[in-house]
Amino acid sequence: MIFVLTQSFKEDYQQLQTTIQRKADKALRLLAGSLRHPSLQVKKIQGTKSIYEMRVDIHTRMTFTLEGETVTLRAVGSHDKTLKNPL
C-alpha cells in the first residue's frame, strides 16, 4: 500500500498532540495491513463518491481516498471538524 499525504493532512497532523500523532501512526500501520481491521471501523462517507473515514480513537478521525493500492490521506483531527466538509 502506498500512502500519499495531502498538504492539508500534513498541516492537520502537525497540529495534533503527540499522543494523538502516535495513535494516528498506529492506525496507519493497521490500515497498511488491512482495510478491514476492526479497530479502524473504515467506512465510506455518505454523500461522497470515494472518500472514506477511519477511526484513530474515540474522538479522532482520518479521511482518505483509495485508488488501487494508493491511499491519499486527506484530513485528520476531531470527529466533527474532520467530517464536517469532507469534499
Closest CA to 74 of 57, 86, 59: 86
Q: Alpha carbon of 59 to those of 62, 66, 82: distances in Å?
A: 11, 23, 10
DSSP 19-58: HHHHHHHHHHHHHHH-TT-TTT--EEPTT-SSEEEEESSS
22 vs 49 pLDDT, higher one: 22
Tally of domains in the chain: 1
Q: What is the mean pLDDT of residues 55-77?
A: 96
Question: Using CA atoms, how far apart are residues 77 and 69, in angstroms rounded to an integer?
Answer: 24
Find the CATH number of the domain harbouring 48: 3.30.2310.20
Residue-number span of the structural domain to which 9 is assigned: 2-82
What average pLDDT does this structure show over 48-68? 95
pLDDT for 10 equals 97
> pTM, whole model, 2 decimals?
0.92
Question: What percentage of the chain reaches a pLDDT higher than 90?
Answer: 84
> Sorting pLDDT into bands at 50, 70 and 90, what band is 85?
confident
Evaluate whether residue 87 is within a structural domain.
Answer: no
- With beta carbons less than 8 A apart as the criterion, state whether 77 and 9 touch: no
Per-residue pLDDT, averaged over 24-48, amounts to 95
Q: Which amino acid is present at 5? A: L
